[in-house]
Structure 1
Amino acid sequence: MKIALFPGSFDPVTKAHVDIVERSLPLFDKVYIGIGANSSKQGFLSLAKREEMLRAIFDNEPKIHIVAYEGLTIEFCRSINAQYMIRGIRTVSDFEYEKAIAQMNHALAPEIESIFIVSKPGYSSISSTIVREILKYNGDVSKFIPKAALDCL
């Protein structure tokens, strides 16, 4: 069974995240969406709210499992028997950053392969950071967040 983890903060989940997940589904038997909890950083949305948003979007997809986790992502991969880690790439700088992480992860766990999925051109400018900033000032984020997730806000 091919098991993959798509880790992230999903703070908030965006249409770009959803696109990466949907495009990864045909490649794997099971896809975990792992909401990383960073104990040294306060999220904009609670972990519970992020999980609620993701469940609202993917509740009818049996291949998807949504879980929050703490600690090293590579160790979480091992705990769920994931052989693959999915990462979305929007820009060249994303690639450089993700490549460095993938190489470190490979050194720690050579049995887990990083899979890069390049975002569709229309989604390359969407980032959770920018969406958070728009939300912070009560701006309209409906172009960037899936409707099911927007209904959770």
Structure 2
Amino acid sequence: MKAIYPGSFDPITNGHIDIINRASNFFDELIIGVMMNSKKKYMFSIEERKKLIEQQFANNAKIKVVTFQGLLVDYMKKHHIKVIIKGLRTVTDYAYEAQMALTNKNLYKDAETFFIHSTEKYSLISSSIVKEIYSYGGELTDYVPKHVVDALKEKLS
């Protein structure tokens, strides 16, 4: 069975990586869906975000990284995917993600959303926080892999 873990991943964090690694233990194929949200302003292009994720999971044959625009459920229908993976950090995340799960189920009756709670040490990490810490010269070792730190340095230099 295959599942999809959608997100912006601008950039991918250790929290995302933890959810991906844990979810990949339960599925034959885990698709990381790098998406565009018209309401967000991105630091990295969609192709740069895809590349950073591919670098991280180059040795895991179960993980495939794709980019797409439009509704997640349309992509799922086209590729015969029925499971959505979502990571939860806080109660606020749950409120939003529960609403999205119900909406996706309404749009695609076969869609099921599996929630994976973040590991405690990653519960405060977000891509927005990573970018803010970096913009003030903060240390990112605990938040993102080295190749992402390097990409941030290159992007902001």
The whole-number CA distance in structure 1 between the counterparts of 2:119 and 2:93 is: 14
Q: Which runs of 5+ in 1 are unaligned?
A: none
Q: CA RMSD in A?
A: 1.4
Task: Indicate whether 1:118 and 2:122 are aligned.
Answer: no
* Paired residue secondary structure (2:144): coil
Partner of 1:85: 84
Alpha-carbon distance between aligned partners in 1 of 2:134 and 2:44, rounded to the nearest angstrom: 11
C-alpha distance in structure 2 between counterparts of 1:24 and 1:83, whole Å: 14
Report the Cα offset of residue 56 of structure 1: 0.9
What TM-score, normalized to structure 2?
0.91
- 4+ runs of 1 displaced by more than 6 Å? none
Partner of 1:7: 6
Q: 87-96 vs 31-40, which deviates more?
A: 31-40
Name the amino acid aligned to 2:124: S
Conservation of the 8 A alpha-carbon contact between 1:32 and 1:64? yes
Deviation at 1:47, TM superposition (A): 1.4
The structural deviation recorded for 1:142 is: 1.9
Q: Which residue of 2 aligns with 1:96?
A: 95
Give the deviation of 1:141 after TM superposition.
1.6
**2: distance between equivalents of 1:69 and 1:125?**
27
Match of 2:41 in 1: 42
Match of 1:18 in 2: 17
TM-score normalised according to structure 1 size: 0.93
Q: CA deviation at 1:143?
A: 1.4
8 Å CA contact retained: 1:54, 1:66: yes
The residue aligned with 1:74 is 73
Alpha-carbon separation, structure 2, partners of 1:146 and 1:79: 32
> Number of residues paired by the alignment?
152
Q: How does 1:48-63 map to 2 (within 5 A)?
A: 48-63=47-62
C-alpha contact 1:35 1:69 (8 A) present in aligned 2: yes
